[in-house]
């Protein structure tokens, strides 16, 4: 197997681990971390797709990864500020249990 295929497999594993963490955890900080792991998997998949063309990688997916990193950091910062605000208002940072 060549290197882009390994990157794609690792990216898929990272995305699945992040998705499992998003579904399983109730704590909001852990959910944000799971979303960041998922986005890392997506970025790695873009890098794998950019490197499969041959000697020179395609610059468009690499530019999308750089833009995505900036957006991801900004969204994470906003989410952390919202978690702090929720902590001050409600005293906890977990979703309540469903009593259905």
- Write out pLDDT tens, residues 17-44: 999 999 999 899 999 999 999 999 999 9
- Write out pLDDT tens, residues 54-67: 677 778 888 999 99
Whether 16 is covered by a domain: the verdict is: yes
Mean pLDDT of the chain: 88
Chain-centroid distance, C-alpha 5: 20
Whether 50 is covered by a domain: the verdict is: yes
Write the CA distances from 32 to 23, 42, 52, integer angstroms: 12, 15, 31
Chain-centroid distance, C-alpha 14: 9
Boundaries of domain holding 17: 3-90
User: Is the pLDDT reported for residue 89 higher than 90?
Assistant: no
- When divided into structural domains, the chain yields a total of 1
Model pTM?
0.84
What's the token pair of residue 63? 């530019």
At residue 100, the pLDDT reads 53
At residue 96, the pLDDT reads 65
Residue 67 CB neighbours (<10 A): 10
**Is residue 27 helix, strand or coil?**
strand
User: Is the pLDDT reported for residue 73 higher than 90?
Assistant: yes
Distance (Å, rounded) from C-alpha 48 to C-alpha 9?
9
Whether 96 is covered by a domain: the verdict is: no
Cβ-proximal residues to 73 (8 Å cutoff; 6+ apart), any chain? none
CATH code of residue 44? 1.10.287.3510
């Amino acid at each position: 197997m060549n290197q882009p295929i390994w990157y794609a497999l690792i990216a898929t594993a990272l995305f699945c681990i992040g998705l499992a963490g998003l579904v399983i955890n109730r704590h909001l900080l852990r959910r944000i971390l799971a979303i960041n792991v998922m986005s890392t998997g997506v970025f790695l998949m873009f890098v794998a797709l950019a490197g499969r063309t041959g000697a020179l990688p395609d610059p468009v997916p690499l530019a999308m990864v750089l833009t995505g990193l900036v957006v991801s950091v900004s969204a994470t910062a906003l989410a952390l500020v919202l978690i702090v605000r929720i902590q001050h208002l409600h005293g906890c940072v977990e979703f309540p249990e469903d009593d259905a």
